[in-house]
Amino acid sequence: MRSLTKAFIIAVMILLAGFTIMTKESENSVPANNESEITVNEEVNNFNASIIKYVDKGEMVASWYGRKFHGRKTANGEIYNQMAFTAAHKNLRFGTLLRVTNPDNELSVIVRINDRGPYIHGRELDLSKASASALGMVQKGVAKVRVEQLALKGVNFPVISLN
C-alpha cells in the first residue's frame, strides 16, 4: 500500500510541477490567430481546479540555501539537492506541497517540504536554490512570498505525507 501511495504522490507532483508553474507571460498569452482556443495550460488548470484546492497560509519571509548544504542529509533523511524544488519549514509535515508566489513578479513554484529551518530570526521558509531561481529571488536572497498549501478537494489532510 505504501508503494502505491508513493506512486500516486509522484504522479500528482509531476502533474503539478509540469503544468502549474507558469510565468505571467504564459498565463496572458493570446493565440496568434485570435481565436478563442483553450491552451494546454488552461486545460490542465481546469483539471487541477477540479481536484486540487489551495489553502492560504498567508505571507512568509523566505530565503534560500544551496551549495553549502548540497549533498548533505535533510531532516527527513533525503540527500539535499539544491536544484530540486524543495523547501525547509520549522513545523509543516514532511511531504507537504506548497505553492509559493513572489508578489514582486507574480512567479510561482510548487515546492515539497523535506527539511527543517530556517534558523535565522524572522525567516519562515528556506527554499532550495532552484526554487528561489524560479521565483526570481536569488540575487535578493530574502523575499516576502505568498504561500498556499495544496490539498485534495473533499479531503481534510495535506496532499502528501511521506512519513
**Can you give the residue ranges of every domain in the chain?**
2-152
* Predicted TM-score (pTM) of this structure: 0.69
Do the beta carbons of residue 100 and residue 136 sit within 8 Å? no
Q: 103 preceded by cis ω (within 30°)?
A: no
List of residues 6+ apart from 75 with CB closer than 8 A? 88, 94, 114, 115, 116
Q: Which residues pair with 6 in a beta bridge?
A: none
CB under 8 A, 24+ apart: contacts of 39-43: none
* Cell of residue 127, nine digits: 527554499
Q: How far is C-alpha 55 from the geometric centre of its chain's CA atoms?
A: 13
State the angle between helix axes of 40-51 and 2-19 in degrees (0 to 180), rounded to the nearest 10.
Answer: 140
> What does the pLDDT look like over 9-50, one tens digit per residue?
665 555 555 544 444 444 444 444 444 455 555 655 565 667
> What does the pLDDT look like over 126-148, one tens digit per residue?
999 999 999 999 999 999 999 99
> What does the pLDDT look like over 74-87, one tens digit per residue?
999 999 999 999 99
The yes or no reply on domain 2-152 and CATH 2.40.40.10 is yes
**What pLDDT does 30 receive?**
46
Mean pLDDT of 97-105: 97
Residues listed for the chain = 163
SS3 of residue 20 by DSSP: coil
